[in-house]
Structure 1
Amino acid sequence: MKRIGIILIILIIAFSSGCTDTNQSKTMEEGNNISVNNAGVNVSDNINASKTVQDSDLKSAPDLSTSPDTTNTSNIVQKGDNVSVNYIGKFDNGTVFDTSLIDVAKEADLYDANSTRTYEPMSFVVGAGQMISGFDNGVLNMTVGEEKTLKLSPDEAYGEYNQEYLVPVPRSDLENASIVPEIGKKVVANMRIATIVDITDSNVTLDFNSPLAGKNLTFDVTVVSIEKASKE
């Protein structure tokens, strides 16, 4: 079988999620579709992020912590609006994996003084597929200053873990790109981030699953601003 080589580039990643390098990982942010043909495997994944990365329809609505006044639609989040939010992302056990708040990041030992990441509200266009589906749908009908807790299943976040996204590639491909294979190292293949999970004398296995695949996630969200969509 004719082998189509892939270009691998070492990433320096400060990974504290989706939500979030989210540049904030945008947590949440998904990358472009990937096609890795070295092993005859096509990988096409919609994870947000930012397609977090595209996203599937919301299968179960998140819990609503409050019931905002929806009589004035200019004050509530609707599809097409550009919104800015602060968020704290947590696993079921309460461990914080990502946040837009620097104090929370420091408390959770996520802050890296040497990182170029900035901690600030995350902005996105609601319904544009820029976010994982549960987050995107969860902010609908919120108002400025409102706080809400979103509890997302894998289907609403980064999907279930998929064994088909484990792709072996020739070790020589990495070495020819001046990459020393190491377990856990992040690389870019065909515009997608992958993690090296196995190394043999001849092959290296890349994992294209999101690190958050298969996990239930909780996001504490606060709406900072709403810029209404143009009526044109």
Structure 2
Amino acid sequence: MKEQIIIALLLLSMLSGCIAGRVVEPGDRVSINYTVEFENGTIYQRSHAPINLTVGSGMMIRGIEEGILGMKEGETRRLVIPPEKAYGTVNESLIEEIPLIEEIPYRKVIPRRMSTSIDRFERSFGKNHSVGESLYVPGAGYNVTIVEMNEHDVTVLLELEVGDSFRSSKGDWNQTVLGIDGENITIAPDFKVGDTIQIYRYYWNSTVLGITDENATIRHNPIPDMEFVDIFGLPWRIHFGEDKITIDHNHPLAGETLIFNITIVNIG
């Protein structure tokens, strides 16, 4: 009996030691609390409840997943994480600068005949079309005639005449046909000096300051600083300066060394 008690105590001691000594390993599901701050000590974010993650799954930045390995339940560790293991360094190619006053093309020459792949054509017009057929271009306001078609490509002829007007694909204005010369069509937007226009690729409107045969001069109208992620997951940070607009598609924390104070709440 005495020997059985001793053995039981030894097993209990060994089991307790295993539990107490368990550490975070790849594949573990853990709960953590954390604060994150910049190098100057400014607190950027803190958890208000434990965050659950699976180590090595990519749910958190690499510096955290590597830094918590070997930690025990209840342990707190200070991790200094460089940009390379956080949100990356700043990629200059993701920063666009636009002059506050900009020139954009005004009068433009486009071909009467346009070719595209059969796949792209069918995405717009559907299947089962033939040469000679006239089709309405969705959203544009004019028709095209199929002049050539094979299993790979389709060529269409724009059914436009001088004076015709159709919707621009660049902004909230119409394009007017000024002339047709053989295989080319000359078009120009219908806005005038003083008009406020919306260029589709921008999140602000612009005012037309001047027009020549070749270019229109516009002033981009300032908006407050904006920061958001679009439907494609692309970060946007927009800032209007005195003479230019900066559009930054880097992660807001790109280039930052981050300091995490992490506590392991539970190892699942």
The alpha-carbon deviation at position 83 of structure 1 amounts to 1.0
- Of 76, 79, 88, which residue of structure 1 is paired with 2:23? 76
The alpha-carbon deviation at position 223 of structure 1 amounts to 0.4
- Aligned-partner residue type, residue 59 of structure 2: Q
Q: What residue number does 2:78 align with?
A: 149
1:24-63 Cα deviation digits (max 9, x unpaired):
xxxxxxxxxxxxxxxxxxxxxxxxxxxxxxxxxxxxxxxx
Q: What residue number does 1:166 align with?
A: 95
Matched, 1:126 2:55: yes
* Distance 1:124-1:181 versus aligned 2 partners, 3 A rule: farther
* Distance 1:127-1:158 versus aligned 2 partners, 3 A rule: same
Give 3-state SS (helix, strand or coil) of 1:75's partner.
coil
Q: Please list every run of 5 or more consecutive structure 2 residues that lacks an aligned counterpart in the other structure.
A: 1-16, 99-169, 171-197, 206-220
* Distance 1:181-1:124 versus aligned 2 partners, 3 A rule: farther
Deviates most, 146-155 or 168-177: 168-177
Matched, 1:137 2:164: no
Q: What residue number does 2:109 align with?
A: none
Trace 1:36-115 onto structure 2 (pairs within 5 A): 75-100=22-47
The alpha-carbon deviation at position 163 of structure 1 amounts to 1.1
RMSD (Å) for aligned C-alpha atoms: 3.2
Q: What residue number does 1:223 align with?
A: 264
Q: C-alpha distance in 2, partners of 1:225/1:181?
A: 49
The alpha-carbon deviation at position 88 of structure 1 amounts to 0.9
Larger-gyration structure (1/2): 2
The alpha-carbon deviation at position 72 of structure 1 amounts to 6.2
Higher share in strand: 2
Q: Is the 8 A contact 2:204 2:223 kept in 1?
A: no
- Aligned-partner residue type, residue 151 of structure 1: V
Q: What residue number does 2:252 align with?
A: 211
Q: In the comparison of the two structures, how many residue pairs are matched? A: 137
The alpha-carbon deviation at position 192 of structure 1 amounts to 2.4
1:91-138 Cα deviation digits (max 9, x unpaired):
1111111111xxxxxxxxxxxxxxxxxx21111111011111111111
Trace 1:27-42 onto structure 2 (pairs within 5 A): none
The alpha-carbon deviation at position 193 of structure 1 amounts to 2.6
Q: C-alpha distance in 2, partners of 1:187/1:90?
A: 21
* Distance 1:175-1:151 versus aligned 2 partners, 3 A rule: closer
Q: Is the 8 A contact 1:89 1:96 kept in 2?
A: yes
The alpha-carbon deviation at position 200 of structure 1 amounts to 9.9
Q: What residue number does 1:196 align with?
A: 238
Q: C-alpha distance in 2, partners of 1:208/1:158?
A: 13
* Distance 1:132-1:175 versus aligned 2 partners, 3 A rule: closer
Q: Is the 8 A contact 1:146 1:223 kept in 2?
A: yes
Give 3-state SS (helix, strand or coil) of 1:196's partner.
strand
The alpha-carbon deviation at position 187 of structure 1 amounts to 3.2
Q: Please list every run of 5 or more consecutive structure 1 residues that lacks an aligned counterpart in the other structure.
A: 1-69, 101-118, 228-232
Q: C-alpha distance in 2, partners of 1:133/1:94?
A: 22
- Aligned-partner residue type, residue 236 of structure 2: A
Q: Is the 8 A contact 1:187 1:196 kept in 2?
A: no
Q: C-alpha distance in 1, partners of 2:229/2:30?
A: 30
* Distance 1:76-1:159 versus aligned 2 partners, 3 A rule: same
Percent identity of equivalent pairs? 34
- Aligned-partner residue type, residue 267 of structure 2: I
Q: Is the 8 A contact 2:21 2:72 kept in 1?
A: no
